[in-house]
Amino acid sequence: MTEPARQGELLFLKLGAASIWFTTALGVLHPFYREVGSAFLGRLGLPEWLMWATCAGELVLAIIIVVSAPKTWLFVAQAGGVTVFTLILAFLEPMLLVHPFGMLSKNYPFLALVTATWLVAREGWTARATWVLRGGMALIWMTEGLFPKLLFQQPKQARDKTDAHKDVQGTGRLEQAHRLSQPGPAERFVLGPGFSVEVVAVIFT
């Protein structure tokens, strides 16, 4: 049996999507964001003002998402925009797809959120809408743990682990080794989800 979406639930879904566009739009105010954006635009032969125009468009899109119903054209605009940006950046820098900071893989749960919002508005909480949302949220945990941590480990991560082991080699201090092997709060926030075994260990310890 399909459960109709409550207005409050739909609003939370809309606010979730809008918050991503809003914070992305504000990123242009940071110098590092502009530096990286200008570098990519330069490689594509595009002017720098396009970055400001895009961020302005993202801000407008965030407002439209909040104040209007989830229409099909709005879904297409969001999903299409994210997909195009992802493909362009993946073409320029393929390793961004497996970056430990989730540079592009963070788009997976966002696309799931946008798709689920559109489905819920049209047909309520069907099994399809529910599993799209669940699948997108789960996918980021698998990709962020499997690809950057095991299959495509970045040089910096491998170097940090090697340095940590060298620092404690021969000291006989288990506490120091454990401390060096664990990321701090800020690093956990930036790196995002870890390998699934690590998640299971956290749950059962």
pLDDT in tens, the chain (205 residues): 566 667 788 999 999 999 999 999 999 999 999 999 999 999 999 999 999 999 999 999 999 999 998 899 999 999 999 999 999 998 998 877 777 777 788 898 999 999 999 999 998 889 999 999 999 888 887 777 666 565 556 665 555 555 544 554 554 444 554 454 454 443 333 333 333 333 333 333 3
Q: How many domains does the chain have?
A: 2
Could you list the residue range(s) of the whole structural domain that residue 70 is in? 7-132
| Residues 86 and 181 placed together within one structural domain of the fold | no
| Residues 174 and 101 placed together within one structural domain of the fold | no
| Residues 40 and 126 placed together within one structural domain of the fold | yes
**How confident is the model at residue 149, as a pLDDT?**
61
| 149 located within any domain | no
Say which amino acid occupies 170: G
| Residues 163-177: tens digit of each pLDDT | 544 554 554 444 554
| 95 located within any domain | yes
| Residues 98 and 30 placed together within one structural domain of the fold | yes
Question: What is the C-alpha separation between 48 and 44, in angstroms, rounded?
Answer: 11
Question: What is the C-alpha separation between 104 and 95, in angstroms, rounded?
Answer: 10
| 2 located within any domain | no
Helices (H), the chain: 7-26, 31-44, 49-67, 72-92, 107-123, 127-146, 155-168, 174-181, 185-191, 196-203
**How confident is the model at residue 97, as a pLDDT?**
78
